[in-house]
Structure formats: structure tokens, C-alpha cells
Structure 1
Amino acid sequence: MLRRLLIAPVGPHIQQGALLDGIQALEISVRPQPAGVLSLQEWCQSLLQSRHSTSSVGLKVYKPTTPGFRGRIITTRENLWSGRPYRPLTEGLRRTGGRNNQGRITSWHRGGGGRRLYRLVDFSRSQSEDTAVVDRLEYDPNRSARIALIKYPEGSSGGDFRGFSYILASQGVLPGDQIRSGASSTIRPGNMLPLSAMPIGQEIHNVELLPGRGGQLARAAGTSATLVSRGTDGYAVVRLPSGTQRRVLASCSATVGALSNPQHKNRKAGKAGASRWAGRRPVTRGVAMNPVDHPHGGGRGKQKGRISQSPWGKQTKGMKTRKRRNPTDAFIHVSRHAAKNKQRG
């Protein structure tokens, strides 16, 4: 009969547990392990270690214990709040699966994914100029950047009925820091000021297009815009992450610094299931379709037989999609294409 031992490490001794067939337990004294040799307790702990090892700041690189974990890289959440979000500033989020009100697919490759609560983020922060305190940093599944829960003092007009508010978290902002909004605020990460009160060359994010509407530009993780110049006509020139230089009203506000989670661009899903968790469905190649479904479809081979096109016959791979008579052309100081060609030249 095969007998199995239950061994439990106890200090310098090893207590040999009772055999499964009922034989009385024994206690064996073992000499301390020499230097450089793992004890049984250390060896057991090494087996219980996590599947990942952090190789870079802000990234979690998984060990290749399975084919799905091989090459999987995600961003760390070490200093983030591990509990549930602040419930008064959340609401339900209805998933459409890429369908419109007629049930037809208008946005491909969407569907599934985990359930989410939408966090009501304050992009304007123009209700109060009082000093707020960062209560905690949180993960937001609805955006790539981190968010911060701030607390306004009692009697302030900012925040909800308890004085709490969600904002985009800037790089370098930690729980306990004080942040302000308004023209009298100091130039430090997290503060929101009008463009007229910022120095030239300042790194900013969450830039407004109209005063009081709330930030609309440079809101992705790790991104930032730059205040290039400020004229006498009431406009300022801002260089966006795409390279476009755009004229914005100097009375519009922006937040100082770059956005948090700069390692977001270095993520790797590692397996198809990770994309399904995020609500992304598989992408079908056009050459694998029928001619009725895609311009690349059909034929006896795998050649598309034409230049790359979209399912609706529009050229891809470098073709400009901006409207020729766009009303906002008057606000484009330098286009991203001209800026890119200038860098190459």
C-alpha cells in the first residue's frame, strides 16, 4: 500500500505528520541548513509565489507559466484604492454591443466584457476655488488614466452633497496632496488654471475648448499637451499629443502636468480572452469574407486584388479622413501632417 506523508515545517525541526493509514507520528530533528541552501519552509513559499514579476516601474510582467500568460503585460495597481468606488458618484452603464436603436451594428468588434459602473468625473472643476484634499487614487475601467477622489471643505460649493468629487489623476499626485482651481492657483501638478495664467511651455492636460464646458483634449493615460504661445487676440496655441497645434481661447482652463498611468501604452493582452474581458470581439479580415461583405472578399486566392479599402470602399492606410470644409479649420495653427513632415525634414 502506498503511504503518503504530510510534512509541516516547524523552525529548525521538521515534524513528520501522521501517515494517512494511521501510523503514529514521529518527530525528527534536522540540522540547520547551510548558507545558500533553501529550507523546506522557504521552498514551499517559493512555490506559492505569484505568477508575475515586475520588471519595470508601473508594469507587471507575467511569467510564462501557461501559453496565455506568456507575454502578458499589464499596468500595476499598487498604490490604488482596492475597495469599491464612491457610490454617490457612480451610475449604471448600459452596454449596446455596438448596436444602434434599430439593432443594427454600427460599431464593429464590440460586445461582451465585464459589468461596469460609470464614474462621474468632474472635468470642469469650476464650481469652487477652495482647496481640496486628495482622498485616494482609484482604477477606472471606463478610461485609461487613473482617477482621484478629492474632498472639498465643509461649506464649499464643490463636489457632491458630501463634498466629494472625482477628477483625472495627474502624475505625481498622491493621497493627502492639496489641489486648487482658479487663476490664483500655483503651478503644480493637479491644479487647474486658465491658459492666460500659465507660463509658456507648460505641460498641461484636460484642456477646455470653451470656457466652463469642461476638459475635452489630452485626457488619455500618460498624455499631455504643451502651451506653445499666447497672442494678443485672446487665443493661445496649444500643441496636442497628435502634434497638431490648435488655437484655443486663453480663458479656457487646463490642468497642470501630465496624466497618470504613463505605462498604459506598453500593455500586452497576452491572450484573446483578455480582449474579450475588455469588451472587444474578434476582428475578421476582409480577404476572409465574401464579395458581398467586403471589397477584399472573394476570389480563388488570398489576394485582395486592389489597394486597401474599408468595408464601404474608402481608401485606408494614410488617406486623410478630415472634411475639407470643416468649420474648425480656422483654429488649426499647424496640422499634425505638417508637423510630422517638418520633423522628418
Structure 2
Amino acid sequence: MAPCNLCLDTGGQSQPVTSRATPPSIRLCHFIIKFSFYFSIRAAFVTCFSFPTLLLHSTMGRVIRSQRKGAGSVFRSHTHHRKGKPALRAIDYAERHGYIRGIVKTMIHDPGRGAPIAEVHFRDPYRYKTRKELFLAAEGTYTGQFVYCGKKAGLDVGNVLPIGSLPEGTIVCNLEEKTGDRGRLARGSGNYAQIIAHNPETKRTRVKLPSGAKKVLPSANRAMIGIVAGGGRIDKPILKAGRAYHKYRVKRNSWPKVRGVAMNPVEHPHGGGNHQHIGKASTVARGKSAGRKVGLIAARRTGLVRGTKKDPRQNN
């Protein structure tokens, strides 16, 4: 067999056939093309499957609980064991021109109210029957006590008179805001109002309310002489949660109250943080949205109230 030209060139010895070696520059180009193609496909795959999620998180924030709140169910007040609304007698001819006498039959505890209630029996001036009225008990009222209501009644604790007939400095409670409304002011336990001055020309009387504000009322408005009973109720500490539970159970759904700084950020604008702090001003403008109105809403002032309140019952 005749040797091939390749064998002749190599001195008559046959050599294995090999392909020509690829230059390093070409191999580098191939690697770059493969690498970029792989990552372009991977990025397109990730974008297709994760873009809606990224878009959702970038355009929508968390609507916190205080912003999601709205009109709930109709609240039913806790009135199961309530004894009734204490009020003054409906004004009549006897009270306008004279007086009418009643007797305190019993003292009643009204759940949800700090002050006791006195059940007073009056004789009906027009027919043969007894009228039962519920009065706020003034401090010092007792069962069997006679109560007089009218313009000519005496200045005794528990009697009801027009404020125009009372001397200046008199302590009153269950005061009418409008003539004949049967009592609207100074009705809480231990509260009272004070007669300051009279103006006979305009038939107006200036009264100091429990808040310290002074108000001008018609002199024909009626009030009960004395202080509402039960004033020492808040002196006894509650001490435990069980007593607070029973206290508010007969009042309204206002206990317990969780502080906003103790919540999570998804539940309250004051929530979150490595320690409990608000992190912003606690005052909120009146025109803010409903979800932002937490804290001191449209506050006129903040901070502690300085000074002391003077008790007119104490001698100077």
C-alpha cells in the first residue's frame, strides 16, 4: 500500500488525524454569548412570574385597621337593670305659684350611675292618686324626709326652687339648662353648681358650673339645693381588673382600651418600633382623614393642667 502524502511529509510514519485548535479569543466570545443568553432567559422567566407581585407591593400599601374601621353594628346600651331617668317634676301651677310636698320613700342604687336615686312620692293635685318621681339624691337626703318643690319652698337640702329665688353663693345640683327641661346640669356624683349673681331687669342668673365655666341662665330655671350624693366614689382605688370589668360592664363598651403604641404598625398609626413610642406629634388636625385621627384630635392645648381648683365649701 502506497503511503499517503501526509505520511510522506512526516518521514513515512502515519500520524493521527486531529482537528485544528480553536483560538482563545474565539472561545472567549463563545463563552460570553452563552453566558449572556442564559441570564437573559432567566431574567425574563423571573420577570414574567414575579412582576405582578412586585407591582402590587410597589403601588399598594397596607390599609391599617384604624383606616378600615367604619360603621359597625347598632350598639345596644346596657340598660337591663336601670331604674329609670332621674328628673325634676314636670312644672305645673303648684310649683309656679306655691309649693308641693313629697316624701322620700326609698333610696335606690342605679347600676351604671355613681349617684344614688331617691324615690319621692307626691300627691296628685288634680286626681286621687300618688305620683312617683325619681330624683337625684342630694348629699344628706334620707328616707322619710319631706321634699318641697316650688317657688315658695324653704332653703333646705333636697328642695327644688327656681334659681332666681336662691341667694347668691347657694350650692345647687340637677340644674335646668332650659326652663322646664327637668334638669340637665351638675348631675354627676359629687357635682354641684353655684349661684353667682342675679339680674332682676333681664331675669337672668349667672351660675358657675362644675367645669368652672360661668353660664347665664333664665331665673325661672329650677335646681335642687345641695350636692349630688356619692362624691367620694372615686377616692377608693379600683386596684384590680375585675372591678373595672364590672364597673364598665353596666355602662358601655369602653373597657379595656389597648394603647396604640402597644400595637403593631398594621393596627394603629402609633404602633411598631423597637420601643414603645409614638414617633410623631400626637396632635392631629381636624381636617385629616378618618384613619389618621388618633391621639389628640384638634386639641386646643396639650400638657398638664396647672393650678388647683378651690372648693367653696371650705372656709378660707
Q: Quick check: 1:118–1:142 contact (8 Å CA) kept in 2? A: no
Partner SS for 1:226: strand
User: Which residue matches 1:246?
Assistant: 215
Q: Extract unaligned runs of 5+ from structure 1.
A: 1-98, 322-336
Q: Quick check: 2:194–2:209 contact (8 Å CA) kept in 1? A: yes
User: Which residue matches 2:280?
Assistant: 306
Identity %: 25
Q: Relative to total residues, which structure has the larger helix share, 1 or 2? A: 2
Q: Take 2:183 and 2:79, find their aligned partners in 1: how far apart are those partners?
A: 28
Does residue 209 (structure 1) correspond to residue 177 (structure 2)? The answer is yes
1:297 pairs with 248, 271, 279, which one? 271
Does residue 267 (structure 1) correspond to residue 236 (structure 2)? The answer is yes
Q: Extract unaligned runs of 5+ from structure 2.
A: 1-68, 285-290, 311-316
Q: Between Structure 1 and Structure 2, how many residues are aligned?
A: 222
Over 3 Å counting, the alpha-carbon distance change for 1:179 and 1:342 in structure 2 is closer
Which deviates more, 209-218 or 306-315? 306-315
Q: Take 1:229 and 1:276, find their aligned partners in 2: how far apart are those partners?
A: 44
Partner SS for 2:232: helix
Measured after TM superposition, the shift of residue 251 of structure 1 is 1.3
Q: Quick check: 2:149–2:161 contact (8 Å CA) kept in 1? A: yes
Does residue 230 (structure 1) correspond to residue 198 (structure 2)? The answer is yes
Partner SS for 2:150: coil
Deviation sequence 1:75-117 (CA, Å, 0-9, x none): xxxxxxxxxxxxxxxxxxxxxxxx9984178xxxx99x89523
The aligned runs of 1:1-345 (5 Å cut-off) are: 102-103=72-73, 115-127=80-92, 129-153=99-123, 155-156=124-125, 162-231=130-199, 232-278=201-247, 279=249, 280-309=254-283, 312-313=292-293, 316=296, 319-320=299-300
Q: Take 2:260 and 2:146, find their aligned partners in 1: how far apart are those partners?
A: 52
Over 3 Å counting, the alpha-carbon distance change for 1:318 and 1:176 in structure 2 is farther
Q: Quick check: 2:283–2:298 contact (8 Å CA) kept in 1? A: no
User: Which residue matches 1:27?
Assistant: none
User: RMSD value over aligned CA atoms?
Assistant: 3.4
Over 3 Å counting, the alpha-carbon distance change for 1:114 and 1:150 in structure 2 is closer
Counterpart residue identity of residue 198, structure 2: R
Over 3 Å counting, the alpha-carbon distance change for 1:164 and 1:342 in structure 2 is closer
Measured after TM superposition, the shift of residue 314 of structure 1 is 5.6
Measured after TM superposition, the shift of residue 218 of structure 1 is 0.3
